């Protein structure tokens, strides 16, 4: 093995871990932008303010909001660097099985940048804001797969028909829960700017719909756990998923009945990210032998 290939092999493990961390962090920092009302701290795109890509002294927007939004934008550049490192390591190691995933991360980050621009240029319309989060969730799934397969190529598994069906329902329902969460957020008070448009749905109705689907997800998790053919690895991951999901549900109920305070909304965003990673790892344990 050549020196550069050996180096690339050693780099791949920490690089994929760091990329996954950054993809998850982007969800949290994006939430911080909304929760602090900093969504239009940089009122234009790709510039921060007309004539400058960075904040300028005496900018019309409040300085704190400007720097929170600008810091969130800077994280995208760190993500690009991390994705380039992962892609280069994958290409140098000759891991053809990871090329699609690595390239998808690189292209997806640019997609995030464009969506971020649309979000700003539409004055934080809830549709592109929700799209921003959903794309992050897709990229997190890809980064989780990269991380899982960093040492050995993916080996497809052929689970029992019932197991595969329950696993499919489980991961799809997890995704639907997150989509409904974006609808709840898009109907609530934390828009990123006091003048930003909202979806217009009754927040109590969409919040309870969101909660109902979460209950269905927990029921599916239990059925999955007791189903014949569920492996010990999958059961172990289902336990982790259940603990995270229950904690996330508790945060959701507390934030709803306490007036949706910012700190709990931020915790709920972090929880949603962890729930999704746990759900995707459950899916990988069913569909691959080394996932």
Over residues 206-258, the pLDDT tens digits come to 999 999 999 999 999 999 999 988 899 999 999 999 999 999 999 999 988 89
pLDDT digits (tens, 9 = 90+) for 160-195: 788 889 999 999 999 999 999 989 888 877 766 667
**Averaged pLDDT, 93-109:** 94
Q: Which pLDDT belongs to residue 6?
A: 82
Do 87 and 103 touch, CB atoms closer than 8 A? yes
Q: How far apart are CA 224 and CA 164, in angstroms?
A: 10
**Averaged pLDDT, 24-49:** 87
Residue 36 — pLDDT band, cuts 50, 70, 90? confident
Least-confidence region, from 57-61, 72-76, 162-166: 57-61
Do 285 and 291 touch, CB atoms closer than 8 A? yes
Q: Which pLDDT belongs to residue 193?
A: 63
Q: Which pLDDT belongs to residue 154?
A: 66
Token pair 């240029």: residue = 121
Least-confidence region, from 200-204, 250-254, 286-290: 286-290
DSSP 54: S
Least-confidence region, from 44-48, 89-93, 217-221: 44-48
- Residues 6+ positions from 220 with CB-CB distance below 8 Å: 166, 169, 170, 173
154 Ramachandran zone, left/alpha/beta (phi>0; psi -120 to 50): beta
Do 120 and 42 touch, CB atoms closer than 8 A? yes
pLDDT digits (tens, 9 = 90+) for 131-168: 999 999 999 999 999 999 887 766 666 677 888 899 99
Q: How far apart are CA 138 and CA 276, in angstroms?
A: 10
DSSP 156: B
| Model pTM score | 0.92
Counting residues of the chain whose pLDDT is more than 90, the rounded percentage is 53
- Domain spans of the chain, in order of start: 1-154, 156-291
**In terms of CATH architecture, what is 156-291?**
Up-down Bundle (1.20)
- Residues 6+ positions from 283 with CB-CB distance below 8 Å: 167, 170, 171, 291
Q: Which pLDDT belongs to residue 148?
A: 92
Which of residues 153 and 285 earns the better pLDDT score? 285
């Amino acid at each position: 093995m050549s020196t550069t290939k050996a180096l690339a092999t050693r780099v791949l493990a920490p690089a994929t871990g760091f990329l996954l961390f950054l993809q998850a962090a982007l969800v949290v920092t994006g939430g911080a932008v909304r929760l602090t009302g900093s969504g239009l701290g940089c009122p234009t795109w790709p510039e921060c303010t007309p004539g400058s890509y960075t904040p300028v002294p005496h900018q019309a927007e409040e300085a704190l909001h400007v720097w929170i939004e600008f810091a969130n934008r800077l994280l995208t550049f760190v993500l690009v660097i991390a994705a380039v490192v992962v892609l280069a390591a994958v290409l140098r190691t000759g891991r053809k099985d990871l090329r699609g995933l690595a390239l998808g991360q690189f292209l997806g980050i640019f997609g995030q940048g464009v969506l971020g621009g649309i979000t700003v240029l539409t004055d934080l319309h809830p549709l592109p804001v929700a799209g921003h989060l959903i794309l992050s969730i897709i990229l997190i799934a890809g980064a989780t797969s990269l991380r899982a397969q960093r040492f050995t190529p993916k080996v497809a598994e052929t689970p029992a028909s019932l197991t595969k069906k329950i696993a499919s329902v489980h991961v799809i329902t997890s995704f639907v829960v997150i989509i409904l969460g974006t609808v709840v957020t898009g109907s609530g008070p934390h828009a990123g700017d006091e003048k930003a448009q909202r979806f217009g749905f009754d927040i109590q109705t969409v919040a309870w719909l969101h909660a109902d689907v979460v209950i269905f997800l927990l029921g599916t998790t239990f059925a999955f756990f007791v189903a014949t053919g569920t492996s010990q690895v999958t059961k172990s991951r289902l336990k982790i998923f259940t603990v995270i999901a229950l904690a996330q549900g508790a945060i959701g109920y507390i934030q709803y009945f306490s007036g949706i305070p910012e700190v709990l909304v931020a915790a709920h965003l972090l929880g949603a990210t962890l729930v999704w990673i746990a759900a995707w790892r459950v899916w990988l344990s069913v569909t691959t032998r080394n996932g």
